[in-house]
Amino acid sequence: MDVLGGNHRHEAPWKRMSKEELDNQYSPSRWVIRLGAEEAMRTYSQIGSEVTKRARATGRSLLDVPYGEGEGEKLDIYLPEAVSEAMPFLVFFHGGYWQSGSKDTSAFMVSPLTAQGVAVVVVAYDIAPKGTLDQMVDQVTQSIVFVQKRYPGNQGIYLCGHSAGAQLAAMMLLANWIKHGVTPNLKGFFLLSGVYDLEPIMHTSENAPLLPTLEDAQRNSPLWQLETAPTQPADPACRILVTVGQHDSPEFRRQSREFHQTLCRGGWKASFAELHDVDHFEILWNLTQEDYVLTQIILKTIFQQS
């Protein structure tokens, strides 16, 4: 089959990797260059809780707002100083390999975005073992429906996800909104260091229980889904930015590049950026800074369109 047919999946480089090598490629903390793996994970939760504490203490926020019936179906809304009906919204989905992380340590981009008039929503979802991947995708869908219904005059809803959260955000390219009675005003996706094909993860030790069958992996792989059953954007102007760190593992970088190519082939307005000299975690930490290149790209994308 030709390159457009997507048959390149059969030659995917991960299929030739040993289990050890796959474990390595899919453990982002092992690729951090400025810290040891354990220190990187400690720093990750430390920075996350500090920025979240600060965001809650300094700005206006609505915390633990239920978006569904479930105990874990809560979100935090961080509002800009000038609240209006017509604010743009950025909805963030944290990472942690669907097994860790929390909205309570994930308010990374709140300060620079709310300062510019963007409302930021940080969503909690039921991580494993409580939640399955299908349930997480469903919860993320519900959270977006909730934001649209609560703020029907919004100037656009932008989804942002990191790592596992980027997979969840990307799954929204395939959502069936009709079923939910409302089509959210989705104007853009910011996907950071994501995993879009979950099949290789099935073969890694820490993640195998998440994906019991190949069907589970494929159903939850936006890359696989878009290659087998392409969808069209409801709004043709909807932008998708696929970004990955220069120091992310080769597999993570390959996944982002391939997902970007698949999006382009499917007619989506997608762009790709490998961000200079950042690892899997710094890409997110840097979003606390207003002058960081990715923060600026996000703000520019949001304000070019509203």
Ligand X SMILES: N[C@@H](CC(=O)c1ccccc1NC=O)C(=O)O
Catalytic residue set = 163, 248, 280
CB 273 within 8 A of CB 262: no
Q: Would you say 122 or 164 has its CB closer to ligand X?
A: 164
Residue nearest ligand X, Cβ-based: 163
Within 91-130, the residues that bind ligand X by CB under 6 A are: 95-97, 101
Q: Which stretch binds ligand X (CB under 6 A): 21-29, 153-161, 196-204, 260-268?
A: 21-29
Q: How many residues bind ligand X (CB under 6 A)?
A: 10
DSSP label at residue 147: H
Query: Residue 164 Cβ, how far from ligand X at the closest point, in Å?
Result: 3
Q: Which of 181, 163, 161 is nearest to 172 (CA)?
A: 161
**How far is residue 301 CA from its own chain's centroid?**
17
CB-nearer residue toward ligand X: 27 or 271: 27
Nearest-CA neighbor of 148 among 88, 99, 192, 105? 88
Choosing from 24, 29, 49, 218, the residue that interacts with ligand X (CB under 6 A) is 29
Q: How far is the CB of 295 from ligand X (least distance, A)?
A: 19
Q: Which residues pair with 80 in a beta bridge?
A: none
Contact 223, 196 (CB under 8 A): yes
Q: What is the amino acid identity at position 218?
A: Q
Pairing of strands 74-79, 89-93: unpaired
161-180 binders of ligand X (CB under 6 A): 163-164
Chain-centre distance for alpha carbon 299: 17
Q: Which of these segments, 15-23, 27-35, 77-85, 266-274, binds ligand X (CB under 6 A)? A: 27-35
Q: Does 245 interact with ligand X (rule: CB under 6 A)? A: no
DSSP lists the bridge partners of residue 75 as 65, 123
Among 6, 22, 44, 175, binds ligand X (CB under 6 A): 44
Which residue bears the tokens 């969808």? 231
What is the SS3 assignment for 53? helix
State the minimum distance, in angstroms, from the CB of residue 94 to ligand X.
7
Nearer to ligand X, 22 or 145 (CB): 22
Owner of token pair 């509002």: 79
Q: Which residue number, 27 or 116, has a Cβ lying nearer to ligand X?
A: 27
Task: Report the nearest approach of ligand X to the CB of residue 177 (Å).
Answer: 26
Phi, psi torsion values for 22, nearest 5 degrees: -65, -40
Write phi, then psi, for 61 (nearest 5 degrees): -145, 155
Contacts with ligand X in 67-96 (CB under 6 A)? 95-96
Select the residue interacting with ligand X from 6, 14, 28, 242 (CB under 6 A). 28
CB 117 within 8 A of CB 88: yes
- For the CB of residue 210, give the shortest distance to ligand X in the complex, in Å: 11
Residue type, 296: Q
Site string for ligand X, 199-228 (x = CB under 6 A): ------------------------------
By the criterion CB under 6 A, which residues form the site for ligand X? 27-29, 44, 95-97, 101, 163-164
